[in-house]
Each structure stands twice: as structure tokens, then as C-alpha cells.
Structure 1
Amino acid sequence: MASNSHEKRLDSNLDVDISEGDQATIAQSVHNSSDEEFVADASQQSHDRDEFDATFQEISDFEYQEGAQPASRPRNKRSWIPNATKTYNEVQPYPTDPSQKWTRTYVGPVKRWTRLSYLLDYWFGDENDRQKIFNKFWHLWWQFELLPPRLSPGSHQLESAKRSWMPENFDQIQEDRFHTWYRRYLGIRTLSQTSTLIDKAKAYRWFLPQVEGEMSVLLGHVSDQKEYFIKQGESIPFSDAGFPIEDIDNPEPRNGGWLLDVGGIVLSMEWMPINGQVDQLLAMTVIPYSDQAFYKDLDDAPKASDLKAGAVQIWKFKVEKDAEGIIRPARSSPKLVHALCSSWGRVTQLRWSPVPLAVGDQVAFLAMLCDDGRLRILEIKQDSVSDDKGIFRELQEPMITLEPPKEHTLEINCFTWINMNRIAVALSDGSVAVCSLSPCQQLQRHPVHSSPIMDIVSGYPSHPFIIATMPMGGVFTLTDLNRPTAEKTYHGNPLVSLQPNVLAWNNHLKGFASIWPSSFPGTSTVSFVQSRVFPLSRHICTVEGQTTCLAFGTCHPFLLLGSSDGSVWALNVMRKITSHRQKTHKVKLFQHEYYSPMPSDTVDEDDSQPRSRGVCRILHGFLPQVNFHPLGTRVAKESKVKRARAEMRASKKMLEKIEDDDDYEDIPDADEESFTMVPGPIAVQEPLTRITALSWNPNADFSWWAAAAMGSGLVRIMDLGIENTDKEDPKEGEQAEESFEVEADGTGEINDDHDEPSFEEEGEKDVDENEVGDGDVEMMESD
């Protein structure tokens, strides 16, 4: 009865006729009562500003140390240091300067050259001990510029990476609440999930994609690649260096992952959240190649009746400990342990419930979105995925079905978990609806965009009711579902998004990574927006081709980015966005190329060899590249040329050599690392070359594992962990992470002991190309 009354009070609070003040008061009470079993305790998230020192040290990036005295240094007469009495929980007033004529620019307290000490106050001003907590993150990841480190099991570092900003016992509290909620749900439900066992032959005949023939794959060093043949369901193990392991019985080299052939195009995939050092499960939805093939005659295309069959595949990847006690991928091949088949249409998106469960738990929740526009929640029994023999089921009824409002042509485009009992769905009319699983009903619905929403992400676990939405055409928007009519903001730069999987949330940085508009079709840009300063974006990465998918780590701030040219990139976003003067790098993990087979009419029918499915080539071993913004590089190069020309004109000796203003032969060229906005000719790749899905493992003990799906049907499972040479001293405990050894005068690891002038003070001063960082680029511009 208590839960029903809570739900009734929640429904009454959705009346749009009440005032905003009453709505805020009631919403807060509901937030503290109805959802008290599904969110963190509000008392643990208290914001007592008085406990924080009101005086800010004028120190360089990463120089903060508790108890350290700031060194005396001169200040600029136009100091940008914030007022010591300013409260970071206040909303800054809207700029009213009439000279501010730009409509797509950011004017606010946070500048691109703002030092990290003050940047943390603006980004994490709602958290106590924010400097202290971020220091732990800095010690964990700052020295790892490209890939995350392997953290020792049971170490304090691993626990810190797992919790991020949440309390120590947050995971245990969420798991206990999940058990309480699930027992209550079993007692009140009227319908249960029903399914029937089917054999493997029937599953592949009607539901799962099935292809014949072998895929030819070129693997190994670029100068000595060998040809391997792989069929659907088979896999090839490879070492940490990326070379295929031919002798499975030989313990050396150590296994660094697998190359798996799933025989179709992966639309969505995600690792199952589970605690413990156990075998890992990866769920994916795979469609046949024919669904996205090119047809000269549309009559040859699959009919709607042929697209009703769909399935979710769950693959198991076994783990083992090496001689040093480090958990690594096992030599055994991955197994398809569970296939959930249905006649509700192709499965376009799937998401596990975000609450990680223990090994002994009997059930986990998996949400899948089908082509019929309905969202279905499934119960996944752990005993059904513990066996390697493979279980195939045909679903008749799911655990819960969420349907869109009964309006003409209205469908669910995408969804995100808010907590174990709330899901936010994005509809095709641009609105967002919040649904409860038990009782199964719609709680809220709000118009957010005027075009269909292509992607939606929640800020779980620290800000579960803050959601970001990306429309097909419009502006990137952030909405607080606790007060959606008032707490809403957007980024003023319009964009066009035609697919999901290009929006991700990171809880350590409390921000979103998303695609960014670009005026040049040969490259694409990804930016970062922090939830508390949402209209301000920071450049993350620019790659050739179009960004097709990206994934943020759950237990670290590293980003994976997939492109239409078949490349997968990785970088440390925390290092990129927190200091605009530091030169950062990105690395291409591998490059995938696909070449389609010869047309069937040119193949010899008498040939006894099986028909080839095409040829793939995977290149790896790329060197890191400087991660800069092309626009900033172009501006720096033009500035350098302009300055060199002025120096030549000022010299009497050079005046005789200058014939006209267009003679640049004697002018020094820009740095070899730089290039202009147009890096070269645009290459059109095969459609199946693209990267279709990426996923970091959310489990702390395997958080450096990643999965990358390619359009050719290959899925690469990679152990990307870097050996952590900075081992934790068990005697020091937590103090070993909280130490912050930087000289008081700013001469530590990062030398930034001089004041950083603002652009207004610099005036028209020329900027050297080597001094230009991405922070100097106004991301609001779409050039």
C-alpha cells in the first residue's frame, strides 16, 4: 500500500496547472519519498558551502594541495579570478550586454583558460570535498594519456574508480533495494514472462542471422600479414600486441582478446553489469546483411513481413588468472550461451539495468527496443547463461511492455535507464516520457524537441534524473526531470543526427560526449559538455570520416570513438579537457577495411570452393597522434605566416626579395605536425567497413576491456589495460592517493607557474603555432 500511495502522489504532481513554486515543493517531497529506494540518500549528497574555504589559491593546473600555502605572485590588473564570496550553486545571470551580438556563443563564468582549481568549483560545486575526490582521479589517470591502467583487485584505487562520486556503500545499497523491489514486484504482478525452448536449427532458420561461406581476414604486422579464414560463430585469439595466436596450447604469448564472427551487422551491444571476477557476458543485437544492402530494384528488398523476426544474443567470454594473479582473457573460444528470439521485429537497441548484481543473484533485467515501436523488459536468469551448451528461447510474453501513447504513427525511438524502476523513452514526435516498471504506467511526458529524438542518455548514478537528448535536427538539450518545465537548457549550435550511439555520459567528469557539427564532410568532431555548464563545449577529438559510435568508460574517463572509415580511436578525456595548454594525444587502436566479394554472376558455378563473404584487413600498431583542433591549427599557421611576412617587410634586406604579397617562398612553413582543415582527398569506404557499435566493460575488475563491432560482422574484444607501475602501498591506505606532491611555486610535473592572460588582455598579439591549444578555439562556431 505504501508503494501505491507513493505512485498516486507522484501522478498528482504531474498536473500542469499547478504553479512552479508548488510544483518544485511537491516534486522535492516526491523525490525524497517515492524514489527513496532507487536513488542515493540525499543527506549523503548535501551541499554545505560553508565547510569549503572561501579563499581560492591562485595556483596553476593540478597544484592544489590541502594545507599548502599559495606562493605569492603578481596578479594581472584585469584579474579573472572569481570572487571569493561567490557561491557556485547560484545560477549566473543572463548576459545583457548589447554588444554581445553572437547568438551561438557562450558567455559565462567559465572560460577556456580557467585554471583547474576554479574549474572544479564550477563543475563539481554541488559536491563536498570535490578537490580531494578529484585528486584521487588525477592520481589514477593523469599519467595514462591513451588507455586505462589495470588496477589491482580489491585495491583502494579500484574501489575509488568504481564509486566515482558516490558513497562507499552505494553499490550494496542499490543491490539491496533491487532485491526488495523485485520481491515486491513478484508479489503484485499479474502476468509473468513466458517463453518456450527451441532447438538451434529452428533458431537459426527463423530468428538468428545465418550466412554461408568464409570470411577472409588479413591479420598481423602491416609488412607481413597472413590470411586467415573464419566462419560464423568462430573466433581467433590474439595477443596483447595484436598478433593472432596460432598455437592455442602454448601459454605464451598471453591472450589479449578475440576476433569473433557473428555473421551480421551489430546494431547495439552492452556488457552485463555483474560484480566479481567471473566470466563476462556481452549482449548484442545482430541483423542480416540483407537488411541494409543496396538494391537496384526495390522489389528485391526484404518485405516488412520478412523483418518481423528478431533476437538478442548473449555471448560468454571466459577469464583466467596468469602467474602474476592478473585476470586476463582465457584461451578458450567465446560461446553463444543464450539467444532470446521473438516475432516483434528487429531489435534496434538494448540496455542492461544499470544496477550491478552479485554472482549469486538469480535474475537480471535487459531492456530491448523492437521495430514495432515498443520497449520490452526481459528477465534473464543467471542459470540460463551459466552453461556453455547454449540455450535458445522463443519469447511469447516479456516481463514488462512499455508502449508509446496511442497517437498516430508515434513510436519509441530510443530509451535510457534512470534507475532500476524508471526508464525515460524518447518518442518520434520529439517528446520524452518517463515510465515506471512497477506499477507499469507513464508518469511524465514533456515536449523537448520539434523533431524525432535519435539518442537519449541519463546521468546515472550521480544525476539519474538529468537526461540529455539529441534530436534528428535541432539543438542538444539537457532536461532535469525533477522540474522539467523550468530546469532545462540547451546548446545553441544546431546539429543533425541520423543515428543513435553518438551520445555518452561519464560519471567521473559528470558530463556528456557527443558528436559536433562540422562544415567539412571529410572530418567529424566530438565535444564534451559538463552538466553544470552545459552550453559550454570543449573539443575532444577530430577524426577523418564520420563518427558512427562512441563509448565512455564507466570506471574511468577514457573514450572510444568509431568512424565510418573503419578506425577506432581512444584517448583520455580528463586530460584533454582540464588543461588547455597541455599537448595531448590520441591513438588509433586499429583500422578495419572491408572489400565485398565478386558479384554472383561472375563466379564459376562449378567451383567446389565455398563462396567467399568478402575480405577484411585489420591494421594495428599505430603511433599516437597529437590531438589538436584543425581550426586552431589553421589559425596558428596563418598567424605565423602573417608574423613572418611582417618581419620580412621590416627588414631592409628582405624588402628587396619580396616581389609581391603572394610570394611565400622565403617564409618559414608551419610545424610538420600541423595540417589545414582539409587534410586530403575524401575516401568513400564500403558501407560494411564502418564501426557500428562500441562498449566499455562497466565491471570494475574488467573496466579496461572493450568491444568494437564492425559492419563486416566481426566483433573485436580487447583487453586494453596498461600495466600500472605506480602500485598502491597497502600500508599507506587512502593517504597514498590523497598526497599531492607539487612544489608550492608551481614547478611540479606541470610547469605553469606564470599567470595566463585572457584574450582581452592579449589584444591582437600574434600567437605562435606551438602555443595554440584547443582551448583557444571557440567551439560554438561550426567551421
Structure 2
Amino acid sequence: MRLRKSNKEVHFNASNILDISDGEQSTVAHQSRQSSDDEFVVAAQQQLDDEDEHDVVPNDLSDFETQKGKKSESKRKRNRRSWVPTNAANSLSKVQPYPTDPSQKWTRTYVGPVKRWTRLLYLVDYWFGDMENRREIFNGFMNLWFNFQLIPPKLPLGSRQLELARNGWMPDDFAQDMEDKFRSWYLRYLSMTTTPQVPTVIDKTKAFRWFLPQTKSDMGVLLGHVSNQKEYRIKQGESIPFSDCGIPIEDEGNHKVQSGGWLLDVGGIVLSMGWAPIKGEVDQFLAMAIIPYADQAYYKNLDDIPKGSELKEGNIQIWKFEAEKDHKGVLRPAHSSPKLAHALCFHWGRALRMQWCPVPLSTDDNIALIAALCGDGTLRVIKITLGTENDGDGTFEELQEPMATIKPPKEYTLEINCFTWLNMNRIAVALSDGSVVVWSISPCLPLMRHPVHGSPIMDIVSGYPSSPFIIATMPMGGMFTLTDLNRPTAEKTYHGNPVVSLQPNTLVWNDHLRGFASIWPTSFPGTSTISFVHSRVFPLSRHICTVEGQTMCLAFGTCHPYLLAGSSDGSVWALNVLRKMSSHRDKTHKLKIFQHEYCAPRPLGTETDNDERNSRRGTCRILHGFLPQVNIHPLGVRVAKESRVKRAKKEKAGKGKAKKADDGPVSDDSEREDDDNFTMVPGPITIHEPLTRITALSWNPNAEFSWWAAAAMGSGLVRVTDVGIEDDQEGSHEHRGKSESVDPGDATAGDIDGLDDEDEMGEESDADINMMLYD
């Protein structure tokens, strides 16, 4: 092997060298590991031979010194942005002592092959290295969603894009295989069960009297364009249809105006919500766990607060939303009002959380499983019937015994905090002591229990369907952790940045990106940060977006990579996480879908003559039609602004010295003005009404309706919206052509908003790496 003169004193380790996109060569220890990532391991000799092809031998020593100086300067620039320990050769062969120097902040950061400036070609290999055809599948994702950076596109029935969105990383026969297994498992359950589910049909009056929240008064809602809003009165169970532009439809019989969704009044606070996974072009069902307003009302006397043991009546409402097909073959919301199709009533306490079984079935099977965590600390699996024959007032059932009952271990003060489905017969429950228990539904028994955290677990999410037994857990206080239930004692990792989480429903999974989105620590209480972590590079987090207020709930699309975020200020945001992760230099945007604001009514006895027509439930205002905003990191903006201010101060100081030498002393009014204009705080902190917040979000998991989204507000309103955008609105031919011309190999991924591209990327940023595009 021939070495260059500049490399004669460079010693290479005999181990392999990872081909990293930014030109760095990280040396690993002598290990032999059989994995799918071997294809991007390059031999040291081959890499040196490639470098020799571009080697230029200098004519004399002066040219050599000049060239060597340039290379040293370039190397210093690269080392300025990424630091590699000097003992990298032995970092993986032995455990290094934990540094005690407080200035070494890198102990809580990610040090690995994937960087923020890693090119998309290598990023796809690192993220999806266990899939053989990963580049082909991911290229289809790029062609389908990259140019729709705000909301997902509407896909016509029977199209190739719709099948790609439905299957994702799974084979084409996966859905049918899971459906067949679900049917056979259910038949085996019926033959083995000894305590079947016992429902009792009750009338509507009894259901609303004892179980369902009931409000007698109506609510005032301000809807329409911001410059011409009109007040509408809505009661519990009523709905207001609106067009694609968000304007309420006065005449429901006018089919010339295309319906864009509904605004529904459920008369209570929605704690959890989810669409039923159903196959086929059928009407959609939305299940909601609803509690009365009194459960979260303000009490001056703490003795008047209702005790948890007294709140025994709970319910889960399932609403039916009809759909109709337009001339383009796209399913749209119908003009007819949604109906309460099913109501599950029980005496097990309030329903705190609920989730559908993720395996979809057709309505002909009349089988659907839903798991509900109730106020008594017990998780119950309930079998319901989703038939299309209930066109009246719906079916009201009082349940005495569920299909399966999952109780926490008999230990002192031990409770079930959250749960997640692994498949149709496995559920993982997270306990208040920080442990995770895997349960079997049929037969109903625990299979394993594994300690994960030292504090109560607030959220647990499974990677179904591509990685069903990989779970992420968010503790109340501690490290965000990823555990493989196949080998829980060996396969486990966590992110080194500790978090404090008190809000549920802020951890979600996306199977197309095969990663998790969750809330992240922020230094400013007026904003909340949302980050993305991939399951294969879990310790590395990437900033997604920052919303005003506190993040109350998140929702990731099942058939697309779009995220919904609900905030405490009543706003709902949407963005394309695929574009955010795969685009490094392009500016990404986020869109505020709507803004909800609640005004509480006057206290009883203080009404005036002008307030006689005001509702006792208060008044809401919903604004829509917001312009997209640049999705940037506020920390990067503040750092860039601080740099500009310091640079301006230095320039003024230099001018001031020159002027002082000529004309005398200079006033520092301009410097004070800069100090007044510059602030590290993005803006004032606004405290909103508690019922203004967004309580739950949900994307429709069915591919034919995957652009339908539901958002529940604290005031008791639920907005179901057809968020999708048609191809002709974005220019389908133009955008498809641009999308097919995207070169993912030349793209980069990460988030360095507010930093200089030249400083961050270095000289290696202009290298051309091509990636084959597949039709």
C-alpha cells in the first residue's frame, strides 16, 4: 500500500473505518458483529487507495508545506464543529471513567456516526439498515410527500400511491395476513372463554342520566372569516358542517358546496380519542372518552372536590361520520350530521385512556376491540360491534363484565398509568413504579415484568407494525428509554437528556419514519419543544418544531409522516416531519390549522340585562386561515441575534473610538438602544382559560381517510376536518416532476437553524453523492 508523504506519520488502526458523510473517520474496536449495517463498512486500504487517486505530488518542499498548511487549516475547521475523543480507538472496548469536570457538557450528548449534517443517502442506511429495499421504499416516500410540506395530499382510490401509504415498510400481504390471524384468534377465544362479555342494552334516558355527561344549556361559537365572524348556538349532540374554506354551511342540502368537516359538541372534556381501524370504503367511527366539566372545575373549597372513589360512572362514546365519494375518486365528509352510534357505559370509574386494537377488520366481521383504562386502576378490553345498521339514536350498553380484565400486581399503591397494543393478543402496561408488564389477552395472564424506570411512567408507545415489540417509555422524571421486549435485559437504550413529563398523550410513533415524537425540555416556559428520535439511533434527538404555550397532545399519521401538535393556547399545528428530517438547507414551514379560544361565562347572580341571551357554558371563537410560518429553532434564532448584536457593538465601538479621537467622547445611547431591542425571551407569557386547551388529537389510520383529523377542545367541541390537499391545488404535474428530480444522496438532514451553512457543513458539503431513483 502506497502512502502519501502527508500520511507517513499518520497511524491507522487495523479495525474497520465507518464511511461517514462529513469526511470523518471514526475508529472502532476489534469486534466481529454480524448485522445488516456491514454494507457501509469500508476497508482502510480501499479508502486509502481512493484517496491516492486524487493525490497530487508536490514539486518541491515549499509547495508541500503550503498544501500541508491548507489541509491543516481545513482540518481545524472540521474539528471545530465536531469533537472526537483522543481515545476513540478504545472507547468501545472498555468502559471509560465518568468525567467529573462540569465544563465537559458532552457527557449528555450523542457521539456516534450519524451527525446533523449526514447526507440523506447514509441517513437512510443508518435508519433503515435492516430493510434490503430501503432505498427504493424511502424514495417512494420522498416522491409522495416531500413537496407537500404542510398537510398530506389526498390520494385517489386504487392508486399506487395509496397502496404505498397503506403498506409502508410492510409487505403487500401483511394486512390480509393479520386479518386472517385476527379471525382465527377470535374464534379460538370464543371456544376457550368461560366468562364472556355481558352487555345490557339500556335506553337513552338512563344513559344520559347516570353515565354520559349532560348539559342543558347551549354554547355560543364564533365562526367564519376573521373579518366577518358570525355567532352560532350549538347544543350537546349537535354539529355544524363547514366547507373546505372553513366557512359554516348554512344549507346542508346544498351539495354544490363541498363539505370540509364538522364541528361537534359532545358536552364534556375529551381525555382520549381515536379512529377505529376499518378496511374498505365505509363510514368512519371515532371513539372518545369523555368526562363531565365538574371533574376538572375550579373549587374554592377543597373539601368540595369530588373524590376519585365517588366518580364511578364512566363512558366511551363512538360517533359515526358518513363519507361520500367525489368525481375524482376521493372520499370526502358527507353533508349529513354525525351520529352517536354506540355508547359504552360502566361503573368502573371514569375512562382515562382508550385505544383501538391496531389490526383492522372489515365491517362485515362485526368485531372490534377497544382497551380502556378506568378510574379504578384496571385496564379492560371490550368487544364492540361496528355495524352500519344503527341509523337511529344509537345503541346504549351497560357493561357488567368486559372481554378481558388486566389488573396491576397486588403491591402497595401500585397502579396502571398507561398501556399500548403490541398486536391483537398482547398489551404492554406501564406501572406507577416504573416497570412494564406484558399481558396476554387470551388466555388472560401476565407474561413478563421488567423494570425500566425509577419513577412512574407517563407514556408508553409500541412500534407496531414494523417493530411491535420495541417500546418507548416516557417517565415522570428521568431518561426517555427504548426497550426491546424480545431481549429486555440486553437490548435497551435511552437518551441522556433527563426530562420531566406530567402530561400524557405526548409520545407518538410513526411507522414510515420508524421513530418517535415527544416533548423535550426547554429553557423558556412560554414555549414547548417537540423532538424526533429514531428507533435505530435513539440517543440522537432532532428538533421538529416549537409551539407557543405547553404541548398538550400529539398525533402522528399512520399512513403518512405528518404530525399534529395541540397546545395549551388552543392552537393546532401541522407539519411534514419527513421534509424536516430529510432537508438540511431548505427552510421548512409549519401551519396553524386553527386557533380555539374559550371565554368563561359570568358567575351566577352577576348577569345584567345585556347578558340575558349569553350562554351559561360560555362562548368560543375559532379562527382559521393562517399563513405558514418558518419552522425554526428559537435557540438558533436567539444565538444568531445575539451574534449580530455583538458584531454591531464591536463595529460601533470601533467607529466611536475613531470619532472620539477627532470630535471627543461619544454618547452610548445607541448601545443602550441595542440592549433594549435585544432580548433572549421570545415574547410575553399568556395564561389562557383551562378550557381553551386542546385535549386530544387523532389522525385517521385508514389509508382511504388518512387525511381526516380530529381535534378535541377543552370546551367540549370536537372539530373533524378533511385536512388533505388536492394535487391540482399544489400543481400535481409540476410537483411530481420536481419530486422525481430530488436527489436524496445530495440532500442532508438535521436541524442547524440559525447557524451558518458554511461553518456547519465545512468544505465537504459540496460533494456529489448520487442515489438511484426508482419509478
TM-score, length-scaled by structure 2: 0.82
- Offset, 1:606: 14
* Among 677, 682, 695, the residue aligned to 1:692: 695
CA contact under 8 A between 2:419 and 2:427: conserved in structure 1? yes
Structure 2 unaligned residues grouped into runs of 5+: 1-33, 45-53, 57-70, 83-90, 749-755, 764-775
* Among 316, 319, 328, the residue aligned to 1:315: 319
CA contact under 8 A between 1:315 and 1:334: conserved in structure 2? yes
Mapped pair 1:526 → 2:563: no
Name 1:225's counterpart in structure 2.
229
Name 1:714's counterpart in structure 2.
717
The whole-number CA distance in structure 2 between the counterparts of 1:463 and 1:120 is 17
Larger Rg: 2
The alpha-carbon distance between structure 1 residues 171 and 181, as it changes in their structure 2 partners (threshold 3 A), is same
The whole-number CA distance in structure 2 between the counterparts of 1:142 and 1:669 is 41
- Offset, 1:306: 3.7
CA contact under 8 A between 2:155 and 2:330: conserved in structure 1? no
1:373-393 deviation per Cα after TM superposition (whole angstroms, max 9, x unaligned): 111111112337754430000
Which letter does structure 1 place at the counterpart of 2:499?
L
Name 2:60's counterpart in structure 1.
none
1:260-301 deviation per Cα after TM superposition (whole angstroms, max 9, x unaligned): 000000000000001111100000010000000010112322
The whole-number CA distance in structure 2 between the counterparts of 1:572 and 1:185 is 41
Mean CA deviation greater in 335-344 or 594-603: 594-603
- Offset, 1:251: 1.5
Name 2:15's counterpart in structure 1.
none
- Offset, 1:759: 4.9
Mapped pair 1:333 → 2:337: yes
Hey, which of these two has a bigger chunk of helix by percent? 2
Mapped pair 1:481 → 2:480: no
- Offset, 1:73: 13
The alpha-carbon distance between structure 1 residues 667 and 294, as it changes in their structure 2 partners (threshold 3 A), is closer
- Offset, 1:760: 9.8
Name 2:188's counterpart in structure 1.
184
Which letter does structure 2 place at the counterpart of 1:342?
F
RMSD of aligned alpha carbons = 3.5
The whole-number CA distance in structure 2 between the counterparts of 1:724 and 1:464 is 33
What secondary structure, in the 3-state scheme, does the structure 1 residue paired with 2:605 have? helix
The whole-number CA distance in structure 1 between the counterparts of 2:247 and 2:55 is 54
Name 2:215's counterpart in structure 1.
211
What secondary structure, in the 3-state scheme, does the structure 2 residue paired with 1:505 have? strand
1:150-173 deviation per Cα after TM superposition (whole angstroms, max 9, x unaligned): 011111111111111111111011
Which letter does structure 1 place at the counterpart of 2:574?
A
Mapped pair 1:469 → 2:463: no
Name 1:724's counterpart in structure 2.
727
CA contact under 8 A between 2:220 and 2:615: conserved in structure 1? no
Which letter does structure 1 place at the counterpart of 2:681?
V
What secondary structure, in the 3-state scheme, does the structure 2 residue paired with 1:619 have? strand
Name 2:547's counterpart in structure 1.
543
Mapped pair 1:741 → 2:723: no
The whole-number CA distance in structure 1 between the counterparts of 2:75 and 2:608 is 81
CA contact under 8 A between 1:549 and 1:561: conserved in structure 2? yes
Mapped pair 1:248 → 2:252: yes
CA contact under 8 A between 1:240 and 1:255: conserved in structure 2? yes
* Among 116, 129, 135, the residue aligned to 2:133: 129
CA contact under 8 A between 1:266 and 1:709: conserved in structure 2? yes
- Offset, 1:568: 0.5
The alpha-carbon distance between structure 1 residues 611 and 116, as it changes in their structure 2 partners (threshold 3 A), is closer
Mapped pair 1:286 → 2:290: yes
Name 1:172's counterpart in structure 2.
176
CA contact under 8 A between 1:136 and 1:738: conserved in structure 2? no
Mapped pair 1:702 → 2:690: no
Name 1:680's counterpart in structure 2.
683
Which letter does structure 2 place at the counterpart of 1:696?
W
- Offset, 1:737: 10
* Among 563, 567, 571, the residue aligned to 1:563: 567
1:665-718 deviation per Cα after TM superposition (whole angstroms, max 9, x unaligned): 898999xxxx96422221111100000000000000000000000000000000
Name 1:27's counterpart in structure 2.
none
1:115-147 deviation per Cα after TM superposition (whole angstroms, max 9, x unaligned): 111111111111112122111110111101110
Which letter does structure 2 place at the counterpart of 1:249?
G
TM-score, length-scaled by structure 1: 0.81
The alpha-carbon distance between structure 1 residues 715 and 511, as it changes in their structure 2 partners (threshold 3 A), is same
What secondary structure, in the 3-state scheme, does the structure 1 residue paired with 2:540 have? strand
What secondary structure, in the 3-state scheme, does the structure 2 residue paired with 1:639 have? helix
The whole-number CA distance in structure 2 between the counterparts of 1:476 and 1:557 is 22
Name 1:111's counterpart in structure 2.
115
- After TM superposition, list the pairs within 5 Å mapping 1:55-66 onto structure 2: none
CA contact under 8 A between 2:117 and 2:761: conserved in structure 1? no
Which letter does structure 2 place at the counterpart of 1:705?
W
Paired positions, count: 681
Mapped pair 1:266 → 2:270: yes
The alpha-carbon distance between structure 1 residues 737 and 444, as it changes in their structure 2 partners (threshold 3 A), is farther
- Offset, 1:540: 0.7
Mapped pair 1:626 → 2:630: yes
Which letter does structure 2 place at the counterpart of 1:144?
F
The whole-number CA distance in structure 1 between the counterparts of 2:675 and 2:423 is 58
- Offset, 1:175: 0.6
What secondary structure, in the 3-state scheme, does the structure 1 residue paired with 2:139 have? helix
What secondary structure, in the 3-state scheme, does the structure 2 residue paired with 1:360 have? helix
* Among 639, 646, 653, the residue aligned to 2:643: 639
1:314-343 deviation per Cα after TM superposition (whole angstroms, max 9, x unaligned): 000000122333211000000001000000
Q: Tell me the percent identity.
A: 65
CA contact under 8 A between 2:343 and 2:396: conserved in structure 1? yes
- Offset, 1:604: 7.2
CA contact under 8 A between 1:630 and 1:676: conserved in structure 2? no
- Offset, 1:232: 0.1
